[in-house]
Structure 1
Amino acid sequence: AIPGEPGTDYPIFSELPNNQFNCSEQRLPGYYADVSARCQVFHICLGDRQWSFLCPNGTIFSQEHFVCVWWYEFDCSKATGLYDLNEKLF
């Protein structure tokens, strides 16, 4: 079992939620945790293209390592401060 309270400690989306994330607002191409979806959603941005993905329940996207990790292994509130790590990818 996943530790914590589903929906409280971590998001439990079963499909991509509607959100306002827009790759055109990002300075760099790369991977972006969606803080409005509590980091269960991440986006890949390349030029004017955007692809959105959902991490499995109990996991969130780590902006530090660019993978889905257990919800307690990454602090989603720090994601936007790590967006510049995309510089290392391109």
Structure 2
Amino acid sequence: RKNGLPPAFDTLQKEYPDSPYARHVRSVGQLLERLQSQQQVINQLTRERNAWRDEKKDLQQTIDALENDRRRLRQLLIDLEKRRQ
């Protein structure tokens, strides 16, 4: 199968190249090629988006952990200051 077209379309193009239907088949073939190309781009972008989401999630977890550490250290500093007084 060429361009994802049924075999009958290939036969039509080969045996009746001047037929208006053969021109339509070529147009459909070009559209299918463009569709496949666009689908590949969409798939790649989807993979990249998912990778960015995973990275964002990991970074957010790191930020949250650092924020918790900062709060605990701040509280420890406050407690230490209270003991000194």
TM-score scaled to structure 1, two decimals?
Answer: 0.19
Identify the structure with the greater helix proportion.
2
Higher strand content, 1 or 2: 1
**Which fold has the larger relative contact order, with Cα–Cα distance below 8 Å and residues 6 or more apart in sequence?**
1
**Greater C-alpha radius of gyration:** 2
